[in-house]
Amino acid sequence: MHPSPDLATVRQWLAGARQVAVLTGAGMSAESGVPTFRDALTGWWSRFKPEELATEAAYRAQPQMVWDWYLHRRELVSAALPNAGHRALAAVQQREPPRWTLVTQNVDDLHQRAGSPGVIALHGQLAQDRWLDAERACCAQGLDATTLPPACRHCGNLRRPAVVWFGESLPAQALALAEQAVQTCDVLLVVGTSGVVYPAAGLVFTAHQHGAQVVLVNPEPSELDTVADACLRQTAALCLPTLLEP
Ligand code: APR
């Protein structure tokens, strides 16, 4: 295994790139205090796996418990602040907007709160919710926010978090924009993802197949190491400010 090109080399790649795409995962928000998925879940939720909670079937079976989990995560995220990695990405996007495209698997709003423009949110937004079943005429005026989960007082339709659950399709427009970004970029910077969930992880292989240089920022090895041109074994908040400074 050859040693990975170092941060200074990657800085040169980024300087010479016409288009740079960025794909972030839960590791991006770890230093903001937001737990990742496949690290051990802390506290009350350690008895569950996200795959047992983040599905439509789980929600229909136990709506209050799953809703509570999302309320718990919303509280964690609203108490969190963007870290130096989020801020470094937002700064470089603001300096050179047309050159950078940010795609995230994260449902927290930390990239947006750091000032990143045009965030492509592949898995939706934790802070938003929508109707579980198709909205009926009665739902528009029937929302009862006092129940948990909130529901339509007329037909019982439940609200659900506006996130993509396992087994559900990703928002078509977001996926199309992400595919276009990774097919046309010269460098793909991948930060804080284990690369085990598709189709998001497939974007990295698409970039590689289209000849992009793939750079991983992750303190641990991941499924994506096989297509990486550089692995920066550092955390996001420590690596990105140095990697992206002018
Ligand atoms: N900086 C960078 N990377 C980090 C840090 C950090 N401070 N801390 C942890 N990591 C890395 C871990 O080594 C791991 O490879 O971040 C990765 C987090 O992996 P996961 O917990 O699997 O999160 P992610 O890859 O984003 O999961 C993808 O799966 O559960 C679904 O929809 C959910 O979007 C999520 C998707």
Residues 6+ apart with CB under 8 A from 241: 84, 85, 87, 88
Residues in the chain: 246
pLDDT tens string for the chain (246 positions)? 578 999 999 999 999 999 999 999 999 999 999 988 876 555 555 667 777 889 999 999 999 999 999 999 999 999 999 999 999 999 999 999 899 999 999 999 999 999 999 999 999 999 999 999 999 999 999 999 999 999 999 999 999 999 999 999 999 999 999 999 999 999 999 999 999 999 999 999 999 999 999 999 999 999 999 999 999 999 999 999 999 999
Which of helix, strand or coil describes residue 236?
helix
218 lines ligand 1 (CB under 6 A): yes
Determine the distance separating the centroid of ligand 1 and the alpha carbon of 25, expressed in angstroms.
5
53 lines ligand 1 (CB under 6 A): no
Say how far apart CA 97 and CA 125 lie, in whole Å: 23
Phi-psi label, residue 49: left if phi above 0, alpha if psi -120 to 50, beta otherwise: beta
Structure token digits, residue 30: 């770890």
Cβ atoms 19, 101 nearer than 8 A: yes
Determine the distance separating the centroid of ligand 1 and the alpha carbon of 21, expressed in angstroms.
18
Q: Which of 45, 83, 190, 193 to mutate to test the pocket of ligand 1 (most atoms within 8 A of CB)?
A: 193
* pLDDT tens digits, 110-154: 999 999 999 999 999 999 999 999 999 999 999 999 999 999 999
Cβ atoms 233, 217 nearer than 8 A: no
Structure token digits, residue 118: 């045009």
Say how far apart CA 127 and CA 104 lie, in whole Å: 15
Residue nearest to atom 21 of ligand 1 (CA): 37
- The reported pLDDT for the residue numbered 50 is 75
SS3 letters across 52-64: HHCCHHHHHHCHH
Which of helix, strand or coil describes residue 104?
strand
Neighbours of 164 (CB within 10 A): 20
Q: Please give the domain boundaries of the chain with CATH numbers for all domains.
A: 1-32+82-123+169-246 (3.40.50.1220), 35-79+127-163 (3.30.1600.10)
Say how far apart CA 79 and CA 54 lie, in whole Å: 22
- The reported pLDDT for the residue numbered 41 is 57
27 lines ligand 1 (CB under 6 A): yes
Q: Residue 214: beta bridge partners? A: 188
The model's pTM is 0.96
% of the chain exceeding 90 in pLDDT:
89
Cβ atoms 63, 144 nearer than 8 A: no
Q: Residue ranges of the alpha helices (H) in the chain?
A: 7-16, 27-30, 50-53, 56-61, 63-79, 84-95, 110-114, 139-142, 172-184, 202-209, 236-244
